[in-house]
Each structure stands twice: as structure tokens, then as C-alpha cells.
Amino acid sequence: MANPRGRRDRRATRARKPLLLGALLSLIVWASAQEVMAASVADEVGDGIRKALVKVYVSSQAPSEVEPWHAGAISSATGSGCVIAGRRIVTAAHVVARHTYLKVRRHGETRKHDARVLFISHEVDLALLTVDDPGFFEGVEPLGLGPLPTTQSRVTVLGFPMGGDTLSLTTGVVSRVEHVQYSHSGGEFLAIQVDAAVNAGNSGGPVVADGQMVGVAIQSKGDAQNISRLVPTPVVRRFLDAWSTERTTGCRCSASAGRRSRTRP
């Protein structure tokens, strides 16, 4: 006599085979999609863009809040940045705030170069650096500023997050473009929200689309995963205009508004 339990086991095994086959096919499709996306990102972020990437090395010393007459402890951190026109480097203000030591290293190189701050806006969390050694900029094609991206457009976040020394590329989609509070200054300014992680060390790095920079990574939303905010290029342009005006006229301009005041001699 046939074993009823054995027949049930065989039927259950036959029923599971299509499910396992479907799961395997789904896994293959997902892996293929990831390969296609990775290849697309690699094509979009070519060697020219990669050469413009910079890792920022900083030591800073904040005054003691309890005993302000005593110097605070020295801390070290890293950030990211990129070369733009005019032998300049854009990064985040909070990366270089109160720095006592500042060096930069180009992607793909080992040598660190002394850098200095040309202009900084804590309002919009942006800083402009330069390197006096002209050889630092040789062979680098500056990254251009692109337009404000639209929602649902795909972007790539580039930088040097903590935990490694190589360039990291993370893709994401623009979910919002709106005024939000910048954590560094507490002011509300235009920002881009994307569903890509901006980890420690990524701050100041460029976000690119179609071969151009469309934003600067500055912060992640603390109560949510993979929600990050960027300074958009209209604010970056205003920041660069403020630096140009101060340099040529001696007037200190706000990087976020039209207020200006004459600097003291």
C-alpha cells in the first residue's frame, strides 16, 4: 500500500518548485538591474569628474562652552569637495569650521596639499578653498554648475565617507525641492532632498547629474534612513557671487540674501 504521507510530501515538493524558480528568476533580474545601474553610473561619472574630487582633512579646536577662556579639545575629521573654475574648491562650511589644520588630496593621488579658506558662509553651509601649489590643479577639469534638478530625476552623490579612503558613488532620486532648516546655521534656505545616504565624510561632496554638479551634500535627516539634503546650485551661485563682490568691492554680502554691510578696515 502506498504511503499517503509520502504522496503529500511529493506534492508539496512539486508545488514549491515553481515558487523557488520564480524567486531565483527575480533574483537574477534584480542582479542584472543592479549591474546595468552600476554601468550607467560609471558611464555618467567619468574620469574627468572623478579627477575633480577632493578629500578634505581637518583638525579643529572649538572653544570650551563651560570655560570659554580655555581652548577646547582638538578634533580631527574628513570631508569631501570638488574643484570648480578659477582654481577653487567647494566644500561644506561645517567641515572646515574653526580649523587649525587643513589639507586636501585629489582622488587617485596620495599626496596631501596645504589648503586655505578663501570665503565661508555659515548661513548656507558652504566654503571656498584654494591650494597655492599650482601643480595641484594640473590635469583637472573643473566641475561645472548645472541647473536645479526636477523631482524624480536621478542624481549621484560622490565623496569619501568614513570607513574607507576610496571614492564612493551613491545614486538617488530627487524627492523634494523646498525650503528647509540647515542644521549648521539654523536658517531656512532652498534645499534638495534625495533618497541617498550622506554619511560622515560625504559632507561637502558634489552631487552630479548629466555630468554637472547640481548640489553639495551637507546633511542627512536624523530621524529617517537614506534621506539627505543638498545645497542646490542656485544657492551655490549666490555664494560665489557674494565672494566675488566682497573680493572686488570690499562689501560683505550675505550668501543667501541681498543684505550687505561695509567691512571695517
Catalytic residue among 121, 125, 184, 220: 125
| Each residue's pLDDT tens digit, 115-151 | 999 999 999 999 999 999 989 999 999 999 999 999 9
Q: How many helices (H) and strands (E) does the chain have?
A: 4, 15
Let me know if domain 48-137 sits in CATH 2.40.10.10. yes
From the number of C-beta atoms within 10 Å of its C-beta (0-12, 13-18, 19+), residue 110 rates as: exposed
Q: What is the pLDDT of residue 61?
A: 83
Nearest alpha carbon to residue 99 among 127, 124, 68? 127
Catalytic residue among 80, 121, 168, 203: 203
Assess whether 113 carries a catalytic annotation.
no
In tens, the pLDDT along 184-228 reads 999 999 999 999 878 889 999 999 999 999 999 998 876 656 789
| Tens digit of each residue's pLDDT (9 = 90 or more) over 51-106 | 999 999 999 987 777 777 777 778 899 999 999 999 999 999 999 999 999 999 99
Would you call 43 a catalytic residue per the annotation? no
Helical H runs in 154-232? none
Q: pTM (2 decimals)?
A: 0.78
Domain regions of the chain by residue span: 48-137
pLDDT per residue over 101-112, tens digit each?
Answer: 999 999 999 999
pLDDT at 246: 86
> Does 203 qualify as catalytic in the annotation?
yes
The larger pLDDT score, comparing residue 109 to residue 163, is at 109
Please write the tens of the pLDDT for every residue from 6-53: 555 555 555 555 666 666 665 554 344 334 344 444 456 788 899 999
Catalytic residue of the set 60, 80, 94, 107: 94
One-letter-per-residue 3-state SS of 67-96: CCCCCCCEEEEEEEEEEECCCEEEECHHHH
